Structure 1
Amino acid sequence: MSVVPATLPASDPCDFVVIDVETACSRVSSICQIGIVGFRAGVEVFAYDTLVDPCDEFSPFNTRIHGLCEDYVMNQPTYAEVHATVAAHLGGRVTVAHSMFDKGALAAACAIHAQTPIDATWLDSVRVAKRAWPDLPSHRLSALAKFLGLRHKHHNALSDARAAGMVIVRAIDHTGIDLGGWLNPATYRTSAAPKPAPDGPLKGERIAILGETRNGALGQWLAEMGGRVAASVGTSSTMLVVSNEQPYGRFFHASPAHRRAEELQRAGSRIEIVSEDALRARVAAAG
């Protein structure tokens, strides 16, 4: 396995970086692979991937998970030798990891190898995914990659970092909550669904919204009409409403939510895709 160098200097601007590490054994300090990906405006702008000599043993259990062993890391740098590069990519930046395992592994490796701890602002993509798509049965990275249609090789550090970054990108698109909002728990706690009215023309409908958070003006109106507003398009959804405020313009059909609704339609679901204006007009005419 070769090292993929950063395509942009670590100092180049990006909105956030994502890191994933693989470990050689049960000791979290035993980092044997590091993958880092930088994103700006929803697009990958650099990637860094390296094998690492963990200066520790490889357990059969860990090797079965990621396929790495002593032979793969022979003559590879130790963590102490790559620390400066990792710190240059992460230091002072919003750093995403899928669970906080990677944060803990970096801290442990810094301690073991007598390196300065990395000062970053951490964001857990598991928590983001659970709030963006609460109805999914699993928020494991492999399950999210499948749901979002991402190419992904699980337990490869670079591929895992890339997929976790796209979870953030898609969550921002899906919910309308920007990166700053996800970093502020008070913001996404307010995105809980409004309680549907006990009766109304939309009673019995399970509705996802494209372009607004579910507690926005459209979500409130849908709930007042008796609809149950969901956080994402799922197999139980009966309607996807395209908000007038949706950010995709005429390209809204390319959004993950719209594509998911179309997939369900092709599979025989009765889910309807309707614009906000059309639905409001329909409800007004029926009332």
Structure 2
Amino acid sequence: MEGIIVKGIGGFYYVKINNEIFECKARGKFRKDGLSPIVGDRVKITLDKGKGAIEKIYERKNELVRPLVSNITQAFVVFAMKNPDINLDLLNKFLLQCEIKDIKAVVCFNKIDLIDSYEEHEAVKMIKKAGYEYIFLNAKNSIGLEEVRGKLKGNITVFCGPSGVGKSTILNNIVGKDVMQTGEISEKLKRGKHTTRHSELVEVCEGFVVDTPGFSSINLTIESKEDLKDYFPEFWDYEHQCKFNGCLHYKEPGCIVKRAVEEEKIDENRYKFYTRTLEEVINGGKNKW
């Protein structure tokens, strides 16, 4: 049978198949191969007298370290309009991490009640021009949360963003504390107060949500200067129009991307972030945040 690991704790893995959850152990062969099952893994299991065994872990689309989870398809990148103010470079680093990990990013602008004319904020204009989806939220008053819920179907979703922006408030509203405290898994996992806590996938609106806020800091390495431009979706339409093949959209003459920046078709803040990041990669050989 095939299913998805929704929780792992104390060497036990809880695999959801249709509407049932099976407690499983991993075969020893995975340890020999240096591979451990993690939440989000698609797996094949067998059952013997009601005890499950994980026989195969299917190839992962991606993997995050904090939280430790695989096969994420969507990230709600949460930033507050105020308290704390938006750091454009940090927002772009979160978007870059999503692109590198092949995760669809949806930007959530929370605390819209704290500023006037929030739709005219430079961060909002930047995101619009870059082509990312975005949602305006006032999570404390449940404004915009239905739009968030509407995007959960068919996805494994993580919430991420810097500290203090309201990730936990949004997550608790979406998942609901009653959902997180009940269910077949929670009953099985009452093994003592010292049990190690791992992330869990909670089923909401026909999708899965990681039940802890995701990465609040950036930890990724860019090895190749040639790869960086591929992580900026607004560059893609211009990719083969530049004068030189393999144009880095940096100092080369006849660069159509640079012309698009001058014509305000590509956001200048995004382009400046790109060139600064490119310079760090060139000067350091690789870029690690």
More strand by share: 2
Same fold (TM over 0.5): no
More helix by share: 1
Q: Which has the higher contact order (CA 8 A, sep 6+)?
A: 2
TM-score, normalising length: structure 1: 0.26
TM-score, normalising length: structure 2: 0.25
